[in-house]
């Protein structure tokens, strides 16, 4: 008769195991508010790292004019085994110039890929190959890989990142941190409007007109930092600072920490 008394215990174990199986996919979420990095374990020895770029909250330390600062932070999160990367861009975002005129698809692709230029110029990465596509990145759509590094606009609130400016998905080896694929998503939700400022001279000192929009090249220069293997830093003047702001353009240029990090991964030009 004792075997009947054990049944609830067995059932409890089964329920607990089932519950745990639903949460162990997330192996790490950086303890910030909200988390700016989330890591999920995936098959074939890979992990999916989601770098989340949030607006700068009022409580955050205000940025001082100019770039640089005294610190040169650099945090490496992964590395490509190859150079001369390729990207496919879906120019489905609503992007304007500072006067409010819509950009063409060709201009949007150029503004996106201009974000890679500083990383190429500072290292031995080499110029990327650029193509276009007309879908959503596979990492965003289904958390799967398709062998293409894709960039597009989509609703981040639909994925639980409603207050994020952009999210970069990085697929890397759990054992070696070798990067095998990346996808970038700029937020298309209401309240996240995009502009391509015509920056003249030094981006650190240039004062763009106030549009209340996010500068596309500025934000995607930061996102490309994750693509080439860099993590967020806390130095407010650096490109990899985890917060962004409307009409910010200083992230279009790299600071000493970013240069140090990308050269550690890929050498000098």
Phi, psi of 83 (to 5 degrees): -115, -170
Q: Write down the pLDDT at residue 27.
A: 73
Q: Tokens for 265, please give them.
A: 């991964």
Average pLDDT over every residue of 34-62: 84
**pLDDT level of residue 63 (50, 70, 90 thresholds):** very low
> What is the model's pLDDT at position 70?
55
More reliable by pLDDT, 128 or 60: 128
Distances in Å between the Cα of 119 and the Cα atoms of 40, 104, 222, 226, 236 are: 27, 25, 10, 11, 19
If you average pLDDT over residues 238-242, what whole number do you get?
Answer: 95
Residue 25 is predicted with a pLDDT of: 63
166 in a domain, yes or no? yes
What number is the average pLDDT over the span 242-268? 96
Q: Check whether 71 has a pLDDT greater than 60.
A: yes
Answer yes or no: is pLDDT of 31 > 80.
Answer: no
Would you state the pLDDT for residue 5?
43
Judge whether 82 and 220 are in contact, CB under 8 Å. no
The answer as to whether 11 is a domain residue is no
User: Which CATH number fits the domain that encloses residue 69?
Assistant: 3.40.390.10
3-state secondary structure of 242: coil
What value does the mean pLDDT take over residues 260-267? 97
Taking residues 240-246, report their average pLDDT.
Answer: 96
Residue 30 has a pLDDT of 78
Q: State how many domains the chain has.
A: 1
Residue 210 has pLDDT above 70, yes or no: yes
Is 10 part of any domain?
A: no
Beta strands in the chain (DSSP E): 26-29, 37-42, 46-55, 79-80, 86-89, 95-97, 129-132, 150-154, 166-173, 178-187, 194-196, 214-215, 243-244
Contact 223, 168 (CB under 8 A): yes
Tell me whether residue 244 is in a domain: yes
Asked whether residue 232 carries a pLDDT value surpassing 70, the answer given is yes
| Closest-CA residue to 114 (of 205, 220, 9) | 220
Instruction: Tell me whether residue 150 is in a domain.
Output: yes
Decide if pLDDT at 22 tops 80.
Answer: no
Domain enclosing residue 203, as ranges? 35-266
In a domain, 222, yes or no: yes
124 to 40, 120, 213, 243, 261: CA distances (angstroms): 30, 7, 33, 27, 12
pTM over 0.85, yes/no: yes
What is the per-residue pLDDT for 57? Answer: 55
In a domain, 88, yes or no: yes
φ/ψ of residue 220, rounded to 5 = -75, -20
- Which residue, among 46, 49, 52, 2, has the nearest Cα to 32 in the 3D structure? 52
Q: In this predicted model, what pLDDT tens digit does every residue of 73-95 receive, in sequence order? A: 999 999 999 999 999 999 999 99
> Band of the pLDDT at 16, cuts 50, 70, 90?
very low
Is-contact 71 235, C-beta < 8 A?
Answer: yes
High-pLDDT (> 90) share of the chain, %: 80
Confidence of residue 26 (pLDDT cuts 50, 70, 90): confident
- What residues form DSSP beta bridges with 86? 129
The mean per-residue pLDDT over the stretch 110-136 comes to 97
- What's the chain's Rg over C-alpha atoms? 20
pLDDT score, position 34: 84
Q: pLDDT value at position 243?
A: 95
25 within some domain: no
């Amino acid at each position: 008769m004792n075997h009947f008394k054990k049944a609830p215990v067995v059932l409890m174990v089964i329920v607990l195991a089932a519950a745990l199986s639903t949460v162990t996919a997330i192996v790490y979420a950086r303890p910030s508010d909200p988390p700016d990095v989330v890591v999920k374990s995936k098959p074939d020895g890979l992990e999916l790292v989601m770098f989340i770029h949030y607006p700068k909250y009022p409580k955050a330390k205000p940025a001082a004019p100019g770039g640089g600062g005294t610190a040169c932070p650099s945090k490496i999160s992964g590395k490509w085994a190859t150079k001369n990367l390729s990207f496919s861009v879906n120019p489905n975002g609503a992007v304007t110039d500072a006067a409010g005129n819509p950009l063409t698809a060709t201009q949007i692709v150029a503004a996106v890929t201009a974000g890679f230029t500083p990383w190429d110029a500072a290292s031995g990465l080499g110029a990327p190959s650029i193509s276009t596509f007309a879908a959503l990145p596979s990492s965003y759509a289904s958390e799967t890989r398709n062998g293409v590094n894709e960039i597009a606009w989509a609703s981040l609130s639909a994925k639980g990142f409603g207050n994020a400016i952009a999210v970069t998905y990085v697929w890397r080896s759990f054992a070696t941190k070798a990067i095998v694929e990346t996808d970038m998503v700029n937020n298309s939700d209401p309240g996240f409007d995009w502009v391509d400022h015509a920056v003249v001279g030094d981006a650190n000192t240039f004062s763009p007109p106030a549009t209340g929009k996010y500068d596309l090249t500025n934000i995607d220069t930061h996102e490309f930092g994750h693509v080439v293997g860099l993590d967020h830093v806390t130095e407010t003047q650096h490109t990899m600072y985890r917060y962004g702001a409307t009409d910010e353009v200083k992230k279009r240029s790299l600071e000493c920490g970013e240069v140090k990090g990308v050269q550690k991964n890929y050498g000098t030009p």
